[in-house]
Amino acid sequence: MFDVEEFQVRGLSGVVRKIRFGNRTVDYWAPQKPGGHLLIAHDGQNVLDKRNIGINPHQRATWELAQSAVRMAEKNSIIPPTVICIYHTPYSEDNLGRLKEYVPAQYMSTKEDWASPSYGLYTEKIESFLTSLTANSLIDQITDEIVPKISQQIGFSPEPNKTAILGASMGGLAAIYAVIRKPDHFHTSLSFSPHWVIGGNPLAEKMMRDFPEPGKHKLWMSRGTKGLDALYEESQDLADKLIESRGFRKKVDFQTRVLNRGAHSNATWARYVPEALDFWMKRGNK
């Protein structure tokens, strides 16, 4: 681990630190005296540092995740969470890096598991990258290296029952998958616009079947009604039905939101963030 830079973000006290673990870039922010809550975000390049958003500077939209976390923590009378934002492999290094890292590997190991079309995620033949899916190793890196080293650096003791992982689109699938893979490290999945179409209804069925038991874990999902998000309706409705059939209680340990006219964009996902964080934090506030 080595430091890259520190920078300030409007609406946050202190600084955000940018660090690297080998080729993996991570931004993180922590309150002056961290509590036990930890929030981990996929697609970290979109979350805090607007310099990464490659459009007109006046139109750049991040998730404003840490700012919302501070507000929701105040609402729930808890110390704001430490926020760790993990970048995916740059496209310049591997144009399929993000896909490989975020595909829920144990459910997508054969060509037959993949639905068609690809919706722009890949143009290569599926067989060419099936043996190089890296979601499991990314989850291991998060739990075994990134979180422990940052925690040591800031004197932080994260509590698994107060740890959430968040993502959107393919990152939304990855956030659900992380809780399935390591339920002892992650308590809550906050999944924005999970990209069900890559595996269709069978993928939703498998992931909802294997999500950890209600009462011990929480799941928040969402989708919009415009563009790519409109394609998720059938599988999302199925996922909702299946998770509820397992005993997950709406607004207690499970919630799905449909945002009318919501699109597949950072700006739309930022609108969901406060509600999703509030859903997560309520259980930790005992």
Q: 284 forms bridges with which residues in the sheet?
A: none
Structure confidence at residue 55 (pLDDT): 59
**Looking at residue 265, what is its pLDDT?**
86
Nearest CA to 212 out of 237, 235, 194, 185 is that of 185
Instruction: Please give the Cα distance from 258 to 281 (Å, whole number).
Output: 21
Whether 128 contacts 100, CB under 8 Å = no
Structural contact between residues 272 and 257, judged by C-beta atoms closer than 8 angstroms: yes
* Closest listed residue to residue 239, CA positions, set 280, 284, 194: 194
Task: Please state the separation of Cα 87 from the chain's center in Å.
Answer: 11
pLDDT at 60: 62
Beta strand residue intervals within 87-217, DSSP E? 163-168, 188-192
List the beta strands (DSSP E) in the chain. Answer: 2-7, 16-21, 24-29, 38-41, 82-86, 163-168, 188-192, 218-224, 254-259
Say what the pLDDT of residue 272 is: 87
Q: What is the CATH number of the domain that holds 275?
A: 3.40.50.1820
pLDDT at 286: 38
DSSP conformational letter for 213: P
> Tens place of pLDDT for every residue, the chain, 286 residues?
999 999 999 889 999 999 999 999 999 999 999 999 999 999 999 899 988 876 555 446 788 899 999 999 999 999 999 999 999 999 999 999 999 999 999 999 999 999 988 888 999 999 999 999 999 999 999 999 999 999 999 999 999 999 999 999 999 999 999 999 999 999 999 999 999 999 999 999 999 999 999 989 999 999 999 999 999 999 999 999 999 999 999 999 999 999 888 889 888 888 889 999 999 998 544 3
Question: What pLDDT does 285 receive?
Answer: 41
Q: Name the residue range of residue 61's domain.
A: 2-284
Judge whether 97 and 89 are in contact, CB under 8 Å. Answer: yes
Interacting residues of 49 by C-beta distance below 8 A, sequence separation 6+: 7, 9, 16, 18, 27, 62
Q: What is the pLDDT of residue 127?
A: 94
Q: Looking at residue 260, what is its pLDDT?
A: 87
* Residues 222-257 as b or e (16 or more Cβ within 10 Å = b): bbbeeebbeebeebbebbbebbeeeebeeeebbbbb
Query: Would you say 37 and 78 are in contact if contact means Cβ atoms under 8 Å apart?
Result: yes
pLDDT at residue 107, as a whole number: 98
Residue 276 dihedral angles phi and psi, to the nearest 5°? -65, -45
Which residues face 223 on adjacent strands? 258
Q: How many domains does the chain have?
A: 1
